[in-house]
Amino acid sequence: MTGHPSDTYFSVAGKYAKRTGLFLKENVSIREKMFSYGLLSLVYFNFSLICSILYEGWNESNGINDVIPTLGYLNVIPRTAIIRFHKLKLVKTLRMLDEVNICNSDRRRQFKAVIETYMKWVFQITCSLALSVVVVGTITWYFTRLTPLPFGIMPKWALNYSFTSCLIIQLITFPFIAHEYVMIDCLKVGILIQLQMHFKNLRLDILNLLSCCTEDGVDSWEYLQNEVKKVNIYWDTLKDICTKIEDVFNLCVFSTVINYSLYLCCTYLGMSHIPLYGAEFWLIIFYLFASSFMFVADCWFTQRVITESDQVASSCYDVDFVGTDLKFQKALMLMIGKAKRPVRFTIGKFAPFCIVTLVVIAKVSFSYVTFLENI
């Protein structure tokens, strides 16, 4: 892509990420550090209050509406630490992604226009989802008072000391939790969408290589060498980006998978003990949809990137090389060898991450809840 990376995805991602104190740049000002550390300190303080309930004892009065926000904290806290630990690597990867040079100039302009449109929609939809969770949760709590506080539980000593302070802490920290949960997945989904489009474009470049060897002679061979070199650089860059994204996000995915499994178990179990179609029922359904939306999107687009990268290998075999120059055939064999190293995304480096993973999690969670019900 031509132009400075701040003109495209990098600037859009940075604008939305800084709302939770995640500044996607190498040099952060003192004011930005104070905002980031102050917000994180408040979130961790709230999380410590929730953890202190374990000393008081969890009882039957703590229903599913207390469990869901607590699991939200348990999911976001490790992901927050992981993504900030890998922030510099993420920044470099985003810059690299925006600076990828597409071989065909016409497709380059079209690609840039499509990406800008896609990314705006992705961030607007996901950020609206985070805001809707906070608004719906607050309004439901205000009119129904199903729980003492809108987003989870607080220790009794804190509620007795100052109910208003506990409420204010929740209204500050939970929007951070909701936005941070969505933002991390949103960053990855945006990257995956671009990678999917890049692999599609790479496949077209490989199929168009045949037109480079329709003529014999030195000039056509030099031109072919240049085109093959561009394709190889393009391919290596995309694979390098995939590797870096895997390094940055694999532990985030691992944390999400574990917490999402617990979340599904608690949701299934809780819904079996509440009246159907009541306010609590629809609130749980809404939380289930909101929490599943980004995880399903991550699974879906990860699978799409893997599929598109595999189809790049197939495009090498689809090239009609019969009757072409021997040098072109050798270049094609080199690309086929490169295609044998597929793109892979994992859950914490030990299991593949794809749509099948989501199906397995849902089945295992439901089976475990059924087992608990029969005990």
Confidence category of residue 323, pLDDT binned at 50, 70, 90 = low
Is the pLDDT at 60 greater than 60, yes or no?
Answer: no
Q: Are 16 and 186 in contact (CB under 8 A)?
A: yes
Confidence category of residue 2, pLDDT binned at 50, 70, 90 = very low
CA distance 165 to 229: 62
Q: Are 309 and 206 in contact (CB under 8 A)?
A: no
Q: Are 299 and 354 in contact (CB under 8 A)?
A: yes
- For 214-228, 263-277, 279-293, 311-325, which range has the lowest pLDDT when averaged over its residues? 214-228
CA distance 7 to 92: 15
CA distance 264 to 368: 10
What pLDDT does residue 212 have? Answer: 60
- Is pLDDT larger for residue 133 or for residue 63? 133
Q: Are 241 and 97 in contact (CB under 8 A)?
A: yes
Is the pLDDT at 31 greater than 80, yes or no?
Answer: yes
219 CA to centre of own chain: 46
- The total of other beta-carbon atoms located within 10 Å of residue 211's CB is 10
Six-digit token string for 9: 């995805």
Confidence category of residue 106, pLDDT binned at 50, 70, 90 = low
Q: Are 40 and 150 in contact (CB under 8 A)?
A: no
Confidence category of residue 185, pLDDT binned at 50, 70, 90 = confident
Q: Are 191 and 304 in contact (CB under 8 A)?
A: no
Burial of 317 (0-12, 13-18, 19+ CB in 10 A): exposed
Phi then psi for residue 352, to 5 deg, are -70, 145
CA distance 298 to 294: 6
CA distance 182 to 244: 21
Six-digit token string for 138: 């607050």
What pLDDT does residue 5 have? Answer: 39
Q: Are 25 and 10 in contact (CB under 8 A)?
A: no
Say what the pTM is.
0.83
Average pLDDT over residues 65-77: 74
Q: How far is CA 319 from CA 211, 314, 315, 316, in A?
A: 10, 9, 6, 6
Q: Give the CA angle between residues 100, 101, 107 to the nearest 5°.
A: 115
Domain ranges of the chain: 10-94+106-374
**Cross-strand pairs, 352:** 346
What pLDDT does residue 12 have? Answer: 75
Is the pLDDT at 245 greater than 80, yes or no?
Answer: yes
Average pLDDT over residues 83-100: 86
pLDDT tens per residue, range 124-161: 777 787 788 888 888 888 888 777 788 777 777 777 88
Q: Where is mean pLDDT largest: 123-137, 206-220, 325-339?
A: 123-137
Average pLDDT over residues 294-319: 83
Average pLDDT over residues 70-79: 79
Percent of the chain with pLDDT over 90: 2
The number of C-alpha atoms within 13 Å of 33 and in the hemisphere containing its C-beta is 5
Complete DSSP assignment for 124-178: HHHHHHHHHHHHHHHHHHHHH--SSSSSS---HHHHHH-HHHHHHHHHHHHHHHH
348 Ramachandran zone, left/alpha/beta (phi>0; psi -120 to 50): left
Confidence category of residue 325, pLDDT binned at 50, 70, 90 = low
